[in-house]
Each structure stands twice: as C-alpha cells, then as structure tokens.
Structure 1
Amino acid sequence: MRVFSDNTLLLTLLYCCFSSVVSSSLYSSCQLQGQFNLNGMHKTGDVILGGLFAINLFSADPDLTFTSEPQLPTCYSFDITGFRQAQSMAFAIDEINRNSKLLPNVTLGYSLYDNCIQLGIAFHASLSLVSGQEEQVTLDKRCVGTPPVQGIVGDSSSTRSIAISSLLGLYRVPMVSYYATCSCLSDRQRFPSFFRTIPSDAFQVNAMIQILKHFGWTWAGLIVSDDDYGVHAARSFHSDLGPAGGGCLAYTEILPWGDDPAEVRRIVDVMRKSTARVVIVFAHNSRTINLMQEVVRQNVTGLQWIASEAWTLADVLQTPHFMPYLGGTLGIAIRRGEIPGLRDFLLQIRPDLHHGSADGKNVVNQFWEHTFQCRFAPPPADWVETGGQLCTGQEVIEDVENELVDVSDLRSEYNVYKAVYALAYALDEMLQCEPGRGPFSNNTCAHLQRLEPWQLVYYLGKVNFTTTFGDQVSFDENGDTLPIYDIINWAWLPDGRTKVQRVGEVKRSAFKGEELILDEDKIFWNFESKQPPRSVCSESCPPGTRMARKKGEPECCFDCVPCSEGKISNKTDSMECINCPEDFWSSPQRDHCVPKKTEFLSYHEPLGICLTTTSLLGTFICVVVLGIFIHHHSTPIVRANNSELSFLLLVSLKLCFLCSLLFIGRPRLWTCQLRHAAFGISFVLCVSCILVKTMVVLAVFRASKPGGESSLKWYGAVQQRGTVLVLTSVQAAICTAWLVSASPVPHKNTQYHSDKIVYECEVGSTVGFAVLLAYIGLLAVLSCLLAFLAKNLPDSFNEAKHITFSMLIFCAVWVAFVPAYISSPGKYADAVEVFAILASSFGLLVALFGPKCYIILLRPERNTKKAIMGRGTTK
C-alpha cells in the first residue's frame, strides 16, 4: 500500500460539498449526483452504525472510454475472514439490542459495506454511509429511507483509514477502526474523530523492543515495506532507539523494499553478510512471501525472525518449505478474544432467495457459493456437468467444515466486537445525561433525535468498560485504546507439522504501565542449542572496562577499553570508569577499589628490624661502657680529662641511640614532634660535651706553660657544666620555637606511588629543621677545629687526637646525610636519617671510648698514673 495522495478525488469531493452548501442556500433540497452500487448488509434501527469490511479481495476495473460515466469496479474472490468480521458486527448489535441494561428502549441498526480492498470503493462506501442514498434530501424535513449513520466501524487498512478519516474528521463523524495500526493516525490534529480498538504500530514497535531487551538482543536487522505500514514503523523504531530512546539497542539497517526482485535480492544479501542474528520484518503477507522465497533460494539460515502483526499468522508461510528457515519465529499478534454465542449466530446464516435487499443477499449468497461451491444465479449450460450444483437454501452448514464457524482464534473479529460496544457505551452514556448537567454549552445534553456526530466523539473519549473476556477498553487523548498484543511462536514439530502457539503477551494498563509476560519454557528455538541466540554488535564489556564507541557506527558497536590505574567499573557495559576514593586504589582487575598499601619504616620489615637492633645494640654498648667506667671510676684513665663529662657524654650517646627508635613505626603526631627535638637536643648535648672536653685539653696545655696557671680557673667543673647547659639550652630553644611556629605533623604522601600511601612526617618548617641541623654542625665543626689544633700536644694530655678522629667521622656522616636524605623517597628518608644517627653515634662511641676500654679491660698495666705520666718522658 502507498500513502493516499490522489488529490483528484478529494478535490472533487470538496467541490461537491461546496456546491451542495451553495444549492442549499438557494433551494430547499439537495440533489444526489449519483448512486453507488455497493455490496452491503443493512438493518434498520433507531441509531444506525456503519461498517466497512473487506469481503471481496479483488476488483476488476471497468474500461474507461472517456465518452460515458465510468462504472464501479466489479468485486470478486470472496474473503471468509472479512465476511466473519461483518457478521461479528451484526452479532454484536443483535446482542446489544437484547441487553436490557445497555441502551434500553433504543434499537441499533447497521449498514455494512464491502470495500473490496480498494480505496476508491471504500471512499464511495463511506460517503454513502454519512450522506445516505436518497435521491433528494429535503432540508426542512427528516430524511426518509436508510438514515445516515452515527458512527462507522472500519476500515481494515491504514491507508484507507487515513483517507476516510481525513474526510470524516471534517464533520466530526466518529470512526472506530478494528485493524488500522499506523501510528500516524494518532495525530489528533489531522484525525480528530478517529478511534481504534487495535494498538498502533508505535506500541507494536515498543513490544518488539521489549522482546529485544528481554533476550539481550542489542543488534537487530530491520526490514520494512515501502508503504504506510512500514515507513511509519521505521520512524517509530528510529524514535524509540534514538538518543532519547532507552538502552543499548540498534538496528543494522532500515531496508525498505517494494515489489522489485532486485531489491529483495539486495536485502537478503545484506542479511547474509550482517552480524545480526535477529531480523525484524515489518511488512504485509505478499511482500513477506517474496522476501522469504529469496531467503530460501539463497539458503540464509541461523536467523531469529521477529514478525510484525501483519504476517504473524500467515498460513502460507507456515509450510514445510519455509519452516526450516522460519521455525521459531516470534511474532506480535492481535489479541485473541472470545465472543460467546458468535458460533451459534454464524450457524444461522442461510441464503435468502426472495427476501432482503439485493446487495445483502449478494453478500450472504457469496458465502454459500464459497462454502458449498454452488450458484444461485442461472448457471451456464455445462455447470452441472462440470461438478457444480445449485443451492436450495436447505443445506446444513453444520455438516461442513468451514472457516466461517471456526471461532477458536478470534482476533480481528474481537476488535470489531469491542468497537461496536465502544460506540454503544458512548451512546448509552450520552442518553444518561441529566438535563442541565450536560457537558456541552450551557450544560446541555445531546438528544438522540438531534444527535450531532461531534457529541458522540466526546462520549467515545470517555468510554471505559470491560469485555466478557476480561479486557479493559478505553481510549486516550489520541483515540488509541489500551494496547495489548499476544506473543506468538512458530513451533516446528518433529513430525513436520507446524504449531502456532501463544507464549506470552505485552500490554499497557492504567496502573502498572507497560508489562511483558513471556513463558520461555514454551518457546521453540530453531537452533541446535535450543536456546535463544546471541545477537550483539559487540560483546558486553566486563567489569574493569568501559565502552568506547566506534566512530561512525551505531551506539551498540564499541570497544572495551580497560580502566586506567586508580579507576574502576564495577558493572557490565559501563560507559565511564570512576575514580577510587583517596585512600583506595583499583584492584588488578579494575573492578573494585581496595585500600591502598601503606608504607612507612616499620618494626616488622627487615630494614626496620635491622635498624632497631642496631639502635638497641648501641644503647646496650653505651650502658656497658658506662658500667665499666663507673666500676673503674678511680683509675687514672677514667679520671683523666674530667670523668664527669665522660659520664655525661655516654648518657647523651645513649639518648642518641634511643632517639632513632622514634623514626621507626607509623608516624603519629607525638612521634613527629618528638623525634627531631629529641634528636637535636641529644646530639647537641653530645657535641657540647666533646667541645668542652677539647677546650679543657687546650686549657690544661696552656696552664703547663709559665704564666698560664690563671687560665684553668675558667675551666673548672662548674664552668664545664654551665657551658654544656647553655649550649644545649640554645638547641632546646630552637626546637621549642620550631614546634610552636610550625610543628611537624603526620602526612599521607601519594606523590611517590599512586597506589601506595607513604606515611611520613612533614617537617612543618624547613627553616626550623635547617637551623637545628646547622647548629649541630656548627658545634661539630668548632670541636673538630679545636681538636685539630690540639692534636700535637704531649701524649699525657692528648685526648685531642681521638676527638679529632671522632669529629671527622661525625662531620663526614652528616655531610653525606643531606643529599642522601633529600633524594630518598618515603620511608627511605627516615632510614637514611636513622642510619646517620646510628653511624655518627657509633663513630663517637668507638673513637672516644674504644681506646680507653681497651686499656681498662685488656691492658690494665697501662692504667696507672705513672704509665700515663711516663708517656711524655718516653717520647
């Protein structure tokens, strides 16, 4: 079918209408311009409802001579389904007339016409329904004869409905279609009086999308016919799957095609090369048959077909020839319903040879001719000889297996039934209007005798009832009913037979919204695995990766890119990777965040254990040396050069060894504040003692010379203690100022390693730390210079050599410490500082106390005043 674009007929119609209006202003009646001889069925009543049905499938156009008025086409090839639809409307009206609760005291009638599946004939029929067939219409009297209809049930095609509704909408005559699905008919501006009891293609498309999502089919082929049905379906797919659509769904290509075999071959060739395993076909039977014949010819297998409503139940495709390719097809079908009593009504149909209108008898007799292969008109001479027979009207239809009385699969008939009842309920609601409380201007009500079509349109929009089958019927603001479709599956049985089975439904309710119900255990899959196929352009991206769209390709075609370090994706098909929190890092699989590894100089690691052991060993040696000196405190070698300073020096060295422990372990506020203060004060105390000892050596040497006795008074025990105290107090003041102004604090450093947290102490004030080290260095250099000057003094006084050597070790260690400390990251900076403390402490301990302990323990004969005083004489 194509979009109705024949403007000639419409212009002619408008011209006739305009002429009628003009003539009405000049005359009291309008003259009918011509009679339409149409097949039809009629029944009188207080209110007449019209109907348009496809009872004949074909028509033969008359020859155009352009010298006389053309006749209407001749219709032939009886369609049993269309006839049953018409009889369903007649049954519904008969049932309503027998219902005392619905439209009491009002009798419905009908005028049903055959459209022969021709737009021109359907247009003629609709004009006859809304204008009547009287030769002359008098304006000031009520028309006699068959009255105009108040509403029309039809048509069975979207294209014909578009054309007819465009006309009826001008006069607001309600039209309720039972088969037109084009989503374009939901346009209330173009079709203000159109309603339908079949869901629109937009919902059919939505139902298919729900099926795709349910089975995870994100990559599907879409094939549509190049008519109203296919074009508007393609638009709906594009709208629902576009940027505003939901989820990751895409189609490989929209392939519209007509009757050209080359187009069909091209489409099948594209399907064969495509990676999509699911193919949606939106087309009518004839187009689909052509397509499937080419599929069979090219032997295209392994596809999951999804059928639109138009060919879901096509018997011609459910054959052994097609089933190897179409088995397992999932289709959208009109809701199957039940109409109690319809079969008995159909069984009452008999040919009427003498009564009724000619067109009504013609329709019924066509059915009998189709069923019993007999004739009512005078037959040709060879009719009986060739096997034909004449019908007598006494034949028993119950004895014949025929499609008419098979009411096991009522679908379009059920929609006709609902359409008639919708009009009836609208009329019933209208007649229950209370005067003065009506919905129209001045609170008026509509009256049956003066009923305007637009008034019935208003009440149709308010209809809300439930059928005996349990389906709710109501219309939204666009004239669409609450949609419901059956999901159909083509099962291919082992014996070669085909079974079309209902496996679910998709519907929209006023309360639950859209709902898809599938019985997957019943679905037949035409694959070796007997499982649903996979149809994706790209496999899903697992957690730990993100989707990266392929340039120039649909949304569902993408690459999976691993998340970068520090980012994760914890679900499938993530569009982006997310950053881990500050104290967390991505796992090796990049699918979750794990706490970052923490790094600091720990007591439990080998380096920390080694440094801790060394520190404790140095402390232990200091204690041992101190014990030795205390035990031998009266010996000359201990008493020489102020034993009190030696004891104080040993205590300060022990503190130096112990303060290194503050640099090991997880930094905390108190350890950060204490470690450098303890380190600075301990070393200043140590170096101060050495400086004072050096100064005492120089003072004693000067006192040994003539006139130098007075210099010793400045280096007595009190002055030595005071000097040490003052020098140490300066360092204590520096530390106090540093802690008060910019105290060291624990810090989580992530600059060294992104996946680690390095715990360290920030010095707070670099100036404070530099002043602390500079002060220690100043005292150490001064001690070294003084000791160097005293290195050549007589042996009896010469401890200066040991002091010089110890200071050289001390200065060398700390000069090397500065660059090593600056270049060492994280815990290694602490390790370098601890190593410097231990190395310098051991250097001082060994250089200053090693020789003395050697003499005390191993050479006691030299630990005498005579031996010590005799060195200078010997030399």
Structure 2
Amino acid sequence: MVNDPHPPLHEYQRSGDYVVGGIVSHAFILADSIDFTIEPPPPSLEEVTVVPKNYQHILALAFAIKEINENPQLLPNVTLGFQIYNSYFTARSTYHATMLLLSKLERFIPNYICEFQHDLIAIIGGLDAQTSLYVATFLDNYKIPQLIYGPAPVMNEKTPGLPFYQMVPKEDVQYMGIRSLLLHFDSDLVTVKGDICTGEEKLENLPGPFFEMSMTGHSYSIYNAVYAVAHALQAMSSGRLHHKAMADGGVLKIQHQQLWQLHHFLRGVSFNNSAGDMVSFDENGELVAGFDIINWVVSSNQSFQRVKVGSVDPQAPPDQAFTISVNAIKWHSWFNQVQPLSVCSESCLPGSRKKVKEGKPFCCYDCIACPEGKIASQKDVNDCFECSAETYPAETQDFCVPKDVSFLSFEEPLGISLTCSAFSFSLITALVLRTFMKHHNTPIVKANNRNLTYTLLVSLLLCFLCAFLFIHRPEKVLCLLRQTAFGLIFSLAVSCVLAKTITVVLAFMATKPGSRMRKWVGKGLATSIVVSCSLIQTGICTVWLATSPPFPDVDQHSMVEEIVLECNEGSVTMFYSVLGYMGFLAIVSFFVAFLARKLPDSFNEAKFITFSMLVFCSVWLSFVPTYLSTKGKYMVAVEVFSILASSAGLLGCIFFPKCYIIVLRPELNNKEQLIRRLY
C-alpha cells in the first residue's frame, strides 16, 4: 500500500521536506480556469508553529502564477493553476506523487487510467538530481516536460535521452568565472555561492567573503520556470490561432493539446522576465545564462550590501566573456582600500614554484626554484614545465629562449680558419705537383715511379678539397658525398703509399742474384695494388649507400642552446667500416715501410713513408675518441681537422724532402750523385 500523499501541513513541518523544487515539488495544471491552490489546504495560523524549510520556494511559485494570471497580455482567457506534493526524499513516494499528478480523481489504480488528465501540465522539480531522475523516468512515458532548478541527473545507458529543462546555468560557466576572477586578482580571496555548489574559501585573518559569483537562487529559478511555461503556452496559442482562424469565436481552448507538443515550444522559448534578464534554452535544454560578480560592501554596523562589479557572459566573445570594474570595488577598511595580500605566504615569483606546507592551509606554501631545464613563466604556479624542443630555459628560468640554428659554415671564425687551411694546403699540393711535373725527367722524380707519385699528389689535393664538403649547410647531396668521397679519396692516397712501399721492398729483393722477384717488379704491380685496394673501399661505400645512406637531420637535444643541422650517417657500422678499412691500409703501409727503412735506397723514401704513416695513424687513432666526445658542429670540425692534418702529414713527410733537393739543392738531383750515395 502507498502512504497517503496528503499528510497535514504539520507533518511537512516536522519532516522538513516541504521543499518546493526539492524532490517532486511542483505540478502545474494548465487549464481554462482553475484557481491556484495548495494541497492540502493550509491550516490556520494558530496551527502553524514552525516555518518549513525552503518555504520561500512555494511563495515564488504562487507569486509567479498570480503575476501571470493578472497579466492580460501574456495568457488572456487562460488561468494557470498548480498542485504541490511531497516526496519525502524516497523513490516510492516520488513515483506515487508523480502518478497522482496525472489523475483528476486524486487516486491511483494500478494498470488503469481513470479520468485521464486532458489539461496540459508541466512539472517543476526537484531540488536534488536523484529525485529529478525518478520523476523523469516516469514522465518520459507521457512526454511531459520537467523543469529542474537543481543539478541535472547524470545519464547512463539505462536512462538515455530523458528530457530536462535546466533552470540553472552550466557548471562550466561558473568554473570559468571563478578561474577568471582568481587570475584577475592573482589571489584566493573569492567566495563561491551559486545554485550548483556552495562553499567558502578564504584566507586566514580575513573579516569574511568579499566577492561572490552570483546567479539568482532557487526561488528565482522557479520564478523563471513558471514564466518559461507561460511563454511556451503563449507561443502555442499563437500558432493555434493562426491555423484555426479563430474558429471558436476568439476563445482559445488549449486543454485538448497533446502533452508532447509543449516540448517544441519550450525549446524555442526566449523572453525577458520582469527583472530584465533573458531566459532561453540551448539545444541541450540548459538555461543560457551567465553570472554576476557581486562585491560585498561592509557597512559600519557590520551589515553587508551587494554591489554588482562585473559579470561572466558565456555568449560573449572570449575576450569579453569576463568583465569587471576595478574602480567599483570597495575593499574593507582593514586593507586600507587596496587589494589584500595573503598573510601566510608571499607570492612565488616566475622561475619558482609552490610547495605546499604539510599540515598548513592550502594558501601556505614555500617557494622553490625550478629544477634545471624547466621554467615557470607566471607567479604562484604549482609545477614548472619544460621548454619546447626549439627553445631552452633562460638563466632566470622564467621564460624560454629560441635556440640558434647551428652548423659549420664559411661565415663563422671556426669555419673560416678551416677553409683557409684547406685552401692553403690545396695550393701547396698543387705547387708540389707542378714542381714534380716540371722536373719529371730528373733522377729524384724518376727513381720512385713517376705515375704513382703523380697519383698520390692528385689524391692528396682531392683530400684537401673534400674538406669543403663539410663546411656548408647540410643538404641531401652533400650528406651523400661527404663520407663516401672522403673514404674513397683517402683509400686511394693510402693505397698509393702502400704501393710505393711494396715497390721499394720488391726492387731491393730483385737485385739479389737468382731472385725470382724480378718478374714482379714493374708498373703493373703498383697499378694492381692501387686499383684493388680502391675497389674494396668502393664496394664498402656502395653497400653503405644502398642500405642506409647518410641524410640531412636536425639534432635538437645534444646542445642546450642550439639546434644542430647535421648529416646523419645512416649506418654507423658502415661509417666505421670505411674508417676501419682506411686504417687497415695505413697500418700495413706503416709496417712494410718500417721493415724497409734501412734498405740502401738512394733517397731513403722508406724512412719518409714510415714517418708519414706514423703521423697518419696517430691522427686517426686520436680522431675516434675526440669525435665521440664532441657535439654539434664541433664534431664536423674535428673530422675536417683530422682530414687536413693526416693529408698534410703525408704531403710533408714524403714530398717536402724531395722538393728541398729539387728546388734548393739541384746539384744533388743527378745520376752521379745518386750512384755515389748508393755506394
């Protein structure tokens, strides 16, 4: 059995549940002529001893209906009535009271519809989300609109698409306004009071709240709900008159309309209420409204006066959504008419962050510097953040500085010095080659295979010139040529040195009586050594380019203040394979030359080759750890320096002694002197 839904008023008073807009709360009965009444009839004043909680909601409902019924312009010939039921904050009472709203007999018979309600009705309530959900679950069967003035129920897969008309603005608007107010004053001196949440957050030792984000209370929402229904009825009646051309003699009877038709007009309702505020719904049935920012001014008698100093309008452009008049704000005299400051902690300056003190209020914190590599660009931030890959933290750690683009170029001092060195060595090599070609018939030039000498000088010239491939902005073609050209040219140069050394050894061995080495001595042997050694390096470079070739890349992390444009080697294994093979040729040349250093060579070239290979190997053995320990453009500079140093070592150790004799001691460059020195 269902309990009597109409207990006497003193029962409502004892329960404290007589809340208009609380659980089920209001029911509008829209009819031609029905006086608004409260059920059950109110007792005499002698019986009333306690004013029920939220009784002002009932007064707001009655006031709005009375105001509408007395307005001849809004709903002529139509009178609004209402019924109020109590749900006792229980699902059973809520469902029962909702069913009674649909019956004129004031009683509910399960599985039967007796005296079905033909008058259009709308429900206002309840104050909490769960009650609204109970009511909506039942009303959805009859498509009866429900206007709620509390938080909207959370929908799930079992309650899809239940229709609500929410008479309070979205929570997001309130949160946005609070955040804007906090950012504007850069403090926590704000009290939040609204229809959705109520709270008070204030600092220690303050006399009380100073601002509130205020959208009118529940009573005002109920007032707007009544007017929303009235304007929807007005729109419905206007449509009926247009289509029926006053068929009933000018008297409109709307009680025979279908309940679901009221939804269409409610969704499109838009009007200014008696307070001048706009009332309309969005596509989700939520009230389109903002908030006023109210300044609480303390009088001498410690009373408060509310003064509007700003607003939050979600419909305005983003830069105008939050407005506040600082000049209209009146601070408490305790603050000497200036913006109050926190008495617990000073603001944390940019470059530092807040660290909450354990056991202290939220406004009490320490300021600690941002860790290395992070910044804080604003005051009083909770966390520092990292700069983007294109920027780096300033020394003060309060802003990010754009990184400079870095690569080894001709315009900077390091690039200029390396360029001048490469050009100078190239010029010297060209002069040495010209000198040898000019004196190509002299004994000192003819003694050591002129063609092999010319090939070695040309390869050394190319070694110096290939340094220019590294002093430029990395591009695709340059990245492909850099290491491969360097590897091939240097292998050619070292293989020429190796061929020279082997030729000297075999030539000495061929002079012994009965030696079989004579058939190996000749230009063909040297050519075969140079070609075969160069082909092996060519094969390694071909595999490298075919499998994982070098490519232009951007390194944003190795250097803190620079973005390095570089050539990514692609396959590091192939890169070190090229260096390794070149080193292998140099070691073999050094070993053979060392064994032949005391042979009776007239010009003692084996000794010079030994020294040149010693310099060459020393340079490239020191190159690897140095190259790996540097970053950015300095890695490229190390490789260019190694190219120039090793090439200069070969040029100086092998050819400068001969140039000295050719240019400065020509008397020694003759056949007689050659034979005399040999014996």
Please classify the TM superposition score into its range, dividing by the shorter chain length: 0.5 to 0.7
Shift of 1:535: 8.0
Give the match for residue 689 of structure 1: 496
Which of 606, 623, 642 is residue 836 of structure 1 equivalent to?
Answer: 642
Does 2:586 align with 1:637?
Answer: no
What is the CA–CA distance in structure 2 between the aligned matches of 1:605 and 1:651, rounded to whole Å? 29
Q: Bigger CA drift: 767-776 or 685-694? A: 767-776
What is the CA–CA distance in structure 2 between the aligned matches of 1:492 and 1:660, rounded to whole Å? 81
What is the CA–CA distance in structure 2 between the aligned matches of 1:831 and 1:711, rounded to whole Å? 46
What is the CA–CA distance in structure 1 between the aligned matches of 2:311 and 2:622, rounded to whole Å? 81
Shift of 1:682: 2.1
Q: Secondary structure at the match of 2:602?
A: helix
Give the match for residue 204 of structure 2: 275
Shift of 1:637: 2.5
Structure 1, residues 596-645: CA drift from partner, whole Å, max 9, x if none?
A: 44444444444333333222222111112122223333333333323332
CA pair 632-545 structure 1, distance change in 2 beyond 3 A: same
Which of 397, 414, 434 is residue 627 of structure 1 equivalent to?
Answer: 434
Does 2:244 align with 1:437?
Answer: no
Give the match for residue 816 of structure 1: 622
Structure 1, residues 550-609: CA drift from partner, whole Å, max 9, x if none?
A: 87889888888877677778888888777766x524443777766544444444444333
Give the match for residue 484 of structure 2: 677
What is the identity, as a one-letter code, of the residue corresponding to 1:690? Answer: V
- Structure 2 residue runs without a partner (length 5+): 1-6, 15-32, 40-44, 50-59, 89-93, 107-123, 139-146, 152-166, 239-247
Q: Secondary structure at the match of 1:240?
A: coil
Does 2:670 align with 1:741?
Answer: no
Which of 418, 423, 435 is residue 616 of structure 1 equivalent to?
Answer: 423
User: What is the TM-score when the length of structure 2 is the normalising length?
Assistant: 0.60
Give the match for residue 343 of structure 1: none
Shift of 1:800: 2.2
What is the identity, as a one-letter code, of the residue corresponding to 1:275? Answer: E
What is the CA–CA distance in structure 2 between the aligned matches of 1:628 and 1:509, rounded to whole Å? 87
Give the match for residue 578 of structure 2: 772
What is the identity, as a one-letter code, of the residue corresponding to 2:467? Answer: S
Contact map agreement 1:758 1:827 (CA 8 A) in 2: yes
Contact map agreement 1:488 1:504 (CA 8 A) in 2: yes
Give the match for residue 701 of structure 1: 508
What is the CA–CA distance in structure 2 between the aligned matches of 1:510 and 1:812, rounded to whole Å? 76
CA pair 728-433 structure 1, distance change in 2 beyond 3 A: same
Shift of 1:727: 3.2
The alignment-based identity, stated in percent, is 37
Contact map agreement 1:784 1:808 (CA 8 A) in 2: yes
What is the identity, as a one-letter code, of the residue corresponding to 2:537? Answer: Q
Contact map agreement 1:333 1:485 (CA 8 A) in 2: no
Does 2:660 align with 1:854?
Answer: yes
CA pair 868-537 structure 1, distance change in 2 beyond 3 A: same
Which of 531, 544, 557 is residue 725 of structure 1 equivalent to?
Answer: 531
Give the match for residue 251 of structure 1: 200
Contact map agreement 2:34 2:81 (CA 8 A) in 1: no
What is the CA–CA distance in structure 1 between the aligned matches of 2:640 and 2:204, rounded to whole Å? 67
Shift of 1:872: 3.9
User: Following superposition of structure 1 onto structure 2, how do residues 444-523 of structure 1 map, counting pairs within 5 Å?
Assistant: 503=308
What is the identity, as a one-letter code, of the residue corresponding to 1:437? Answer: H
Give the match for residue 598 of structure 2: 792
CA pair 525-818 structure 1, distance change in 2 beyond 3 A: closer
Does 2:609 align with 1:803?
Answer: yes
Which of 210, 218, 224 is residue 304 of structure 1 equivalent to?
Answer: 210
Which of 197, 218, 239 is residue 240 of structure 1 equivalent to?
Answer: 197
Structure 1, residues 68-89: CA drift from partner, whole Å, max 9, x if none?
A: xxxx799xxxxxxxxxx9xx99
CA pair 602-50 structure 1, distance change in 2 beyond 3 A: same
Q: Secondary structure at the match of 1:796?
A: coil
Which of 640, 651, 663 is residue 845 of structure 1 equivalent to?
Answer: 651
Give the match for residue 660 of structure 1: 467
What is the CA–CA distance in structure 1 between the aligned matches of 2:190 and 2:498, rounded to whole Å? 94
Shift of 1:706: 4.3
User: What is the TM-score when the length of structure 1 is the normalising length?
Assistant: 0.48
CA pair 827-464 structure 1, distance change in 2 beyond 3 A: closer
Structure 1, residues 512-531: CA drift from partner, whole Å, max 9, x if none?
A: 9xx99977765554446656
Does 2:599 align with 1:650?
Answer: no
What is the CA–CA distance in structure 2 between the aligned matches of 1:854 and 1:697, rounded to whole Å? 21
What is the CA–CA distance in structure 2 between the aligned matches of 1:529 and 1:685, rounded to whole Å? 88
What is the CA–CA distance in structure 2 between the aligned matches of 1:689 and 1:465, rounded to whole Å? 98
Shift of 1:850: 1.6
Contact map agreement 2:407 2:566 (CA 8 A) in 1: yes
What is the CA–CA distance in structure 1 between the aligned matches of 2:655 and 2:68, rounded to whole Å? 125
Q: How many residues align?
A: 580
Superposed CA RMSD: 7.0
Q: Secondary structure at the match of 1:633?
A: coil
Q: Secondary structure at the match of 1:626?
A: helix
What is the CA–CA distance in structure 1 between the aligned matches of 2:584 and 2:68, rounded to whole Å? 118
Shift of 1:440: 8.7
What is the CA–CA distance in structure 2 between the aligned matches of 1:828 and 1:757, rounded to whole Å? 13
Give the match for residue 346 of structure 1: none
Give the match for residue 357 of structure 1: none
What is the identity, as a one-letter code, of the residue corresponding to 1:833? Answer: E
Structure 1, residues 307-366: CA drift from partner, whole Å, max 9, x if none?
A: 999xxxxxxxxxxxxxxxxxxxxx98998xxxxxxxxxxxxxxxxxxxxxxxxxxxxxxx
- Structure 1 residue runs without a partner (length 5+): 1-5, 14-45, 53-58, 62-71, 75-84, 109-149, 160-164, 175-179, 224-232, 242-249, 253-270, 278-300, 310-330, 336-411, 444-459
Shift of 1:689: 2.5
CA pair 485-674 structure 1, distance change in 2 beyond 3 A: closer
What is the CA–CA distance in structure 1 between the aligned matches of 2:377 and 2:253, rounded to whole Å? 64
What is the identity, as a one-letter code, of the residue corresponding to 2:419? Answer: T
Contact map agreement 2:212 2:295 (CA 8 A) in 1: no
What is the CA–CA distance in structure 1 between the aligned matches of 2:149 and 2:64, rounded to whole Å? 19
Q: Which has the larger radius of gyration?
A: 1
Contact map agreement 1:601 1:831 (CA 8 A) in 2: yes
CA pair 151-168 structure 1, distance change in 2 beyond 3 A: farther
What is the identity, as a one-letter code, of the residue corresponding to 2:204? Answer: T
What is the identity, as a one-letter code, of the residue corresponding to 1:669? Answer: K
What is the CA–CA distance in structure 1 between the aligned matches of 2:368 and 2:499, rounded to whole Å? 70
Shift of 1:846: 1.4
CA pair 727-746 structure 1, distance change in 2 beyond 3 A: same
What is the CA–CA distance in structure 2 between the aligned matches of 1:802 and 1:819, rounded to whole Å? 27
What is the CA–CA distance in structure 1 between the aligned matches of 2:279 and 2:613, rounded to whole Å? 104
Structure 1, residues 31-90: CA drift from partner, whole Å, max 9, x if none?
A: xxxxxxxxxxxxxxx9766699xxxxxx9x8xxxxxxxxxx799xxxxxxxxxx9xx999
Structure 1, residues 753-788: CA drift from partner, whole Å, max 9, x if none?
A: 466544444444455444434443343333333333
Structure 1, residues 68-116: CA drift from partner, whole Å, max 9, x if none?
A: xxxx799xxxxxxxxxx9xx999979977xx699766x9x9xxxxxxxx
What is the CA–CA distance in structure 1 between the aligned matches of 2:312 and 2:594, rounded to whole Å? 103
Shift of 1:847: 1.4
CA pair 651-102 structure 1, distance change in 2 beyond 3 A: closer
CA pair 275-827 structure 1, distance change in 2 beyond 3 A: same
CA pair 798-508 structure 1, distance change in 2 beyond 3 A: closer
Shift of 1:849: 1.4
What is the CA–CA distance in structure 1 between the aligned matches of 2:530 and 2:543, rounded to whole Å? 20
Contact map agreement 1:743 1:764 (CA 8 A) in 2: yes
Shift of 1:663: 3.2
What is the CA–CA distance in structure 1 between the aligned matches of 2:572 and 2:65, rounded to whole Å? 102
